[in-house]
Structure 1
Amino acid sequence: MTADDERENSPGGYGTPEDDQGFYASYESKEILGSGLASTVRRCIEKGSGASFAVKIVDVSTEKQSDKDARRLYEETISEVKILRQLAGHPSIIAIHDFFETPSFLFTVFEMAPKGELFDQLNATVTLTEKKAKRLMKQLFEGVKYMHENRIVHRDLKLENILCIDDERIVISDFGFAMILPDEKLLKDLCGTPGYLAPETLRCQMYEDAKGYGLEVDQWALGVILYTFLAGYAPFYHRRQLMMMRLIQEGRFEFRREQWDSITSECKELVSLLLTVDVAKRITAAEALRHPWMAGVGEAVVIEQRKTRKSDKRRLFRHAIIWVRFFIRLSNYRKFSQVIDRDAVKKRPFRDREIRHEAESAMFCVYGHWVNRGFHYSRDMLFANAPRPKHKREATVQSG
């Protein structure tokens, strides 16, 4: 069946005359990339340019849902479009290309994300190097900084809502829960995913006199993301959700030796500053970009060079040669044979990083979700209440 045939036979007004004057007049609908309860994401081709995009089609009819749910979906989609147009042009935020509205469906056209969700990329690698994590976090910090400068809070930052445009560029997507906050206004409604919820969000659900929450919830979510990048598991996960909520409210997490011994102290400090319960002390995205861990070796060298007098240039050159030799030897470290105690590996095989990565990657490929390995490795419940169906894991663009 062709796309046109499917459109004509689809229920809920998919082939109504007004569609021909809107989305379908300008785009050719292609295969399904992902789907949600009331939305479908398809690849589409712009007829005028031949360029590929992704269109999220949201069903706002009342044939399969209540008037209340249809109205909520309509308002969320319109709000998302408004916010994305306000944030248009930033490289770390998904670009909206077009929008069409009919009585039954809303069509939002986005840039394509061929590499899929960052969640899937992490599944394939288990953890990231500090260098890679730093490049990704820089983009996320810059995107959140721009959002907050415009008084926009995302409220649902997570790995599934970060899309990979290519091997280097990532973008923040899914602004369905995002809101524009007037000055001094705080929110109290519960939005987001359990593993990413900030303590102040949970307090609003437990205490009637809770103050509320604001832009800072996004910084907390970034802390969860950075921790997960480097550890391979969530900082506050527990099988019992009530216990997990308690860990979050207390900000109780740890840098376990097996995963964090090789991570720099500057990185651990930044994670701790992001996962700070006291909102007033929690570091902002703008401050995180100026943190020593984000500045990196290259910037520090430039600053130091500016301070160096001309008479010290020869000494600096000699030191540079020594550092180059050191890094060359360091890069070849993995090529050297390592002595491994066979008995120790039998008792604790996951203590070896390479063995752990290979085993966990294989388990994910076989079972389609992370197999539980004790308290800290319940990866099947990492950021959602249940493993996602296969067709959703394979979605390569923003999915409702």
Structure 2
Amino acid sequence: MWNSMRGILDAWFAKDGGGAYAKRSKKQRRKGVQLAGKKSGAEGPGFGIHCFIINNSGDIDDFYQVHEEVNAGGSAQVFRAVELATKAVRAVKRIAKKSAGEIARVIQEVAIMKTLDHPNIVKLFETFEDDDYLYLVLEYCAGGDVLDNLLSNGIMDELAAAMVMRGMLSALNYLNANGYVHRDLKPENIMYKADSAESTVSQLRLVDFGYSCRAPDEGKALQTKVGSPYYVAPEVLSGSYGRECDIWSLGALCFMLLSGIPPFFGESDAETLRLVKAGRFVFPSSQWHGVSKGCKHFIRRCLQVELDKRLSVTEALDHPWLKHKFRGKVIHLRDETVERLVSFSQYHDLRRRGWRKSPGIGMTVFCCFSGVCFLNILFWSPMYTEKDGGTEPKRKAGKKERKK
């Protein structure tokens, strides 16, 4: 199965102009970095950051001492690990080889990450595989994610929110320039490199590219309904979208950072998605008293249903709010805001751990894989399709297909 999946990745890189996804033999491992595609002479246009990512087959324990689990979701677990040779601390993401679909998603994640090199994007160092698991060795982020920091620090200010926006917009600008869409921007996917009270833009890392893909060509659109319900853009729910969906998610994230709840938060999943599609939200004075007009304007411009009214990445980077000279004004979260954060975090954590609703007509179906919910809204439709030109195999509900 893995060999067939590797063929998919080779085709992906061939399309992208990159090198081959060469699987190293045990003899080749750890003898210095081998340029991917060198054997075939693909050194010119194919040369890039992906050439320096080592792909290993064999026992990861030969090279890393794997310690405690630091995160988990769906079929993936993340562990803290120490490289035996250098004593460098890394994060090891372990994904079970449960299905061709999950393997394909990991292959696409690796393929994308091999091409990325940006200070606000988590670094991929190398990969391993054995009979049961795939392993991604990543930059270790000791500071935790944004939501955990909100809960533990107990303070929020516009300066901190603007810092997160600047870092993520810088990462998105880089992704856009390289032809990618992230598709799953949320607090859990933004981490701090260091565990320090003095967090800066340089400490921020965008993580989890399992559902990222290539941006559509001019005049074309992505169609796969993928994302996290509280941050997904309305056009994603409609099944026709592009890179603008990431700006919507960033606006919803900014709202969350400053209020303790997402802008679209219904009593049920179906209600939440109806609110998202309508795109109507308010800034309750009890929660937003003291927040600047510039900040609210930034959020409104990100959360525009009409794409021509929504900020682009470059427009967002130039927004006056992000260029404002903040004077260290700190807003201590009110007790009710902290309670909302805790309640939301506990509720959302159940979703992250693979909670699933029963499918049916008139229901919203969520199937969580590694913390990402694929959405089937109000009807039974394929979980994954090849509409976006990705590697996800098509699935259809129904007894006939399961009998094959």
Fold match, TM over 0.5?
yes
Q: Give, in whole Å, the separation in 1 of the partners of 2:204 and 2:129.
A: 28
Pick from 217, 222, 233 the counterpart of residue 198 of structure 1.
233
1:27 offset after TM fit, Å?
1.7
Q: 2:342: which partner in 1?
A: 370
1:26 offset after TM fit, Å?
2.0
1:85 offset after TM fit, Å?
1.5
1:67-216 equivalences in 2 (<5 Å) = 70-88=99-117, 90-125=118-153, 128-166=156-194, 167-168=199-200, 169-184=203-218, 185-204=220-239, 212-216=240-244
Q: 1:319: which partner in 2?
A: none
Q: Give, in whole Å, the separation in 2 of the partners of 1:114 and 1:379.
A: 20
* Contact 1:32 1:43 (8 Å CA) reproduced: yes
SS at match of 2:325: helix
Q: 1:7: which partner in 2?
A: none
Q: Give, in whole Å, the separation in 2 of the partners of 1:77 and 1:130.
A: 36
* Contact 1:36 1:399 (8 Å CA) reproduced: yes
Q: 1:343: which partner in 2?
A: none
1:49 offset after TM fit, Å?
0.8
Q: Give, in whole Å, the separation in 1 of the partners of 2:138 and 2:57.
A: 20
1:35 offset after TM fit, Å?
2.6
Letter in 2 for 1:357: R
1:252 offset after TM fit, Å?
0.4
Pick from 227, 248, 262 the counterpart of residue 276 of structure 2.
248
Q: Deviations over 1:208-236 (max 9, x none)?
A: xxxx1110110000000111111121101
More strand by share: 2
| TM-score (structure 2 length as normaliser) | 0.67
Q: 1:267: which partner in 2?
A: 295
Q: Deviations over 1:303-361 (max 9, x none)?
A: xxxxxxxxxxxxxxxxxxxxxxxx7xx97xx9xxxxxxxxxxxxxxxxxx86x634554
Provide structure 2 residue ranges, at least 5 long, that are not aligned to the other structure.
Answer: 1-25, 28-55, 355-369, 373-404
Letter in 1 for 2:121: I
Q: Relative contact order, CA 8 A, sep 6+: which one is greater?
A: 1
Q: 1:125 to 1:24 in 2, by over 3 A?
A: closer
Q: Deviations over 1:30-56 (max 9, x none)?
A: 222223332222221112111110111
Residues 1:34 and 2:11 are matched in the alignment:
no
SS at match of 1:92: coil
Q: Give, in whole Å, the separation in 2 of the partners of 1:260 and 1:39.
A: 37
Letter in 1 for 2:277: Q
Q: 1:138 to 1:280 in 2, by over 3 A?
A: same
1:73 offset after TM fit, Å?
1.3
1:261 offset after TM fit, Å?
2.5
Q: Give, in whole Å, the separation in 1 of the partners of 2:119 and 2:274.
A: 36
Q: Deviations over 1:246-292 (max 9, x none)?
A: 22112100011112221111111110100000112210122111111
Q: 1:384 to 1:271 in 2, by over 3 A?
A: farther
More helix by share: 1
Kindly report the root-mean-square deviation, in angstroms, between the aligned alpha carbons of the 2 structures: 2.8
* Contact 2:141 2:193 (8 Å CA) reproduced: yes
1:334-373 equivalences in 2 (<5 Å) = 357-358=334-335, 361=338, 363=339, 370-371=342-343
Q: 1:379 to 1:110 in 2, by over 3 A?
A: closer
Provide structure 1 residue ranges, at least 5 long, that are not aligned to the other structure.
Answer: 1-16, 205-211, 299-326, 335-352, 372-377, 390-397
1:245 offset after TM fit, Å?
1.8
1:100 offset after TM fit, Å?
1.6
* Contact 1:127 1:228 (8 Å CA) reproduced: no
Residues 1:239 and 2:267 are matched in the alignment:
yes
| TM-score (structure 1 length as normaliser) | 0.68
* Contact 2:259 2:337 (8 Å CA) reproduced: no
Q: Give, in whole Å, the separation in 1 of the partners of 2:147 and 2:155.
A: 11
Residues 1:59 and 2:87 are matched in the alignment:
no
Q: 1:229 to 1:36 in 2, by over 3 A?
A: closer
Q: Deviations over 1:57-96 (max 9, x none)?
A: 1111xxxx4xxxx1111111111111111112x1111111
Q: Give, in whole Å, the separation in 1 of the partners of 2:272 and 2:58.
A: 50
Q: 2:305: which partner in 1?
A: 277
1:181 offset after TM fit, Å?
2.4
